[in-house]
Structure 1
């Protein structure tokens, strides 16, 4: 299943999975607006790619848990999850008015998916969080690194950190605390931190079950959300091109070296922000 999938990258991932798996598997296309979700599913069906539409607002923990129960009842488990839902932010609009939805969607939505769908992951399954290359500690001053100590903190601790960050933005205290000016940076770091914590807690079970837990940086993608922030989109990928790496993670053999990491085009972007490997 893929969240945030009625448009852009999420829809392209759904299409790629449907092409790769055909009628052997059910691919769930989810989003928070029923009309847009059903329209996207109908359009893909018209292209010969039948998918299953489901409404799921990741900001609503109850909705996430309810969908997880329905999928568990229908199928017993899930083979692939792409936690892709992301809130767009707009230049020229005060961050204090945007940060709440950003954190609720990107961060609390990611951890809600981990809590509800992580236990449903079958042997050999893959849990992917779509993030970005901003999701490393290189984007933070050193004194804030302890806020994302993924070796010791829990998912609940991380949620608290992200809520405290949002409150600092709203109160005007974030700059004095040293947070980056662009709120997307802290959000992406929080998403990758969630993957690292979840992967740490599941490491032994995942190893035995042949599962992969990973964050993915697709690179610059030409979408409605990214266009306002970049004056030159000539080097941006189309959603279909960017989806290839994510579909490959779903359909290719698991690469243990990627476990718990942020991966871009098959290469690991280290958490500390040092050289790629």
Structure 2
């Protein structure tokens, strides 16, 4: 990628997002800029200042307040970065809403879908066009994002869908949750499963339209599964954390993908875990009584 690279990470003031910023700032150069974004101004400012002062930091780090659920704000930021820098080189969409196992999934659905899915659609729509040749646009998902984790009645909503169709499917799911018909239609009770499938489907939709041009310029669009990560968001959902990675460990494979020379066509548009693509059609629908869903 070009010198004076511009990188942006959403949901970055803590956990995996913070680790991704730290890793980018350590592995990029003094002329490169890493934008650490989040919703809370104080937390964003403090996190950016702390990362900037870490001994291993080489790149510039700047905190930027961004509410990813505000699609207008996402679009404005993309336009500003295009005008100021001529585009961006790295975008990692990482924001997620925290939901606890004992909370009502239905009651939290709007917030969860807004942060995980509406925001993903906005990032893809607004930052895809301003991604410089050779750039990287990654959406953090999980291995639950493969199509097989959904009831077969729902597969046609996401398999081979356009971004508009994915967005329509997500809004149909949201409506079904609101009116209490979601489970009857085949949607799993736990929000994370359809949310992750929809994220991966959205990435696949955008990548399908850009594949030839992006591969010709060494540009990568993909979703990534970082594996089990020990964070405040994920810890309540798992009974055994003996194999969990720290955020810094989980960030390493994602950053290797970001900073790799060239693009492996087998990874383009796919859900990538530890450098390898996961089969889109793999997975089985979760047993609703089992809350311990593996990443």
Normalising by the residue count of structure 2, what TM-score does the alignment of the two structures yield? 0.90
1:57-84 deviation per Cα after TM superposition (whole angstroms, max 9, x unaligned)? 1100111011112211221011111011
The 5 Å alignment of 1:203-242 reads 203-242=211-250
1:91 to 91, 101, 110: 101
The 5 Å alignment of 1:122-161 reads 122-150=132-160, 153-161=161-169
1:34 maps to what in 2? Answer: 41
Asked whether the equivalents of residues 21 and 34 of structure 2 are also in contact (C-alpha less than 8 Å), the reply is yes
SS at match of 1:119: coil
Q: Counterparts of 1:87 and 1:175 in 2: how far apart (Å)?
A: 22
The 5 Å alignment of 1:242-261 reads 242-253=250-261, 254-261=263-270
Q: Counterparts of 2:245 and 2:159 in 1: how far apart (Å)?
A: 33
Q: Counterparts of 1:268 and 1:116 in 2: how far apart (Å)?
A: 25
1:7 aligns with 2:14: yes
1:267 to 270, 276, 281: 276
Q: Counterparts of 1:267 and 1:155 in 2: how far apart (Å)?
A: 24
1:78-136 deviation per Cα after TM superposition (whole angstroms, max 9, x unaligned)? 11110111111111111121111111111110110011111111111111010000001
1:120 aligns with 2:136: no
1:133-188 deviation per Cα after TM superposition (whole angstroms, max 9, x unaligned)? 000111012111001122xx321221111111112112211111111221100000
2:27 to 20, 26, 29: 20
SS at match of 2:266: helix
**Greater shift after overlay, 43-52 or 127-136?**
43-52
The gaps in structure 2 that reach 5 residues or longer are 1-7, 284-295
Q: Counterparts of 2:147 and 2:159 in 1: how far apart (Å)?
A: 10
Normalising by the residue count of structure 1, what TM-score does the alignment of the two structures yield? 0.95
SS at match of 1:95: coil
Asked whether the equivalents of residues 139 and 180 of structure 1 are also in contact (C-alpha less than 8 Å), the reply is no
Over aligned residue pairs, what C-alpha RMSD do you find?
1.2
SS at match of 1:30: strand
2:114 maps to what in 1? Answer: 104
* Aligned structure 1 segments of 4 or more residues deviating by more than 6 angstroms: none
Q: CA deviation at 1:46?
A: 2.1
2:50 to 43, 56, 72: 43
Q: Counterparts of 1:258 and 1:22 in 2: how far apart (Å)?
A: 26
The gaps in structure 1 that reach 5 residues or longer are none
2:292 maps to what in 1? Answer: none
The number of equivalent residue pairs is 272
Q: Counterparts of 1:74 and 1:35 in 2: how far apart (Å)?
A: 25
Asked whether the equivalents of residues 26 and 52 of structure 1 are also in contact (C-alpha less than 8 Å), the reply is yes
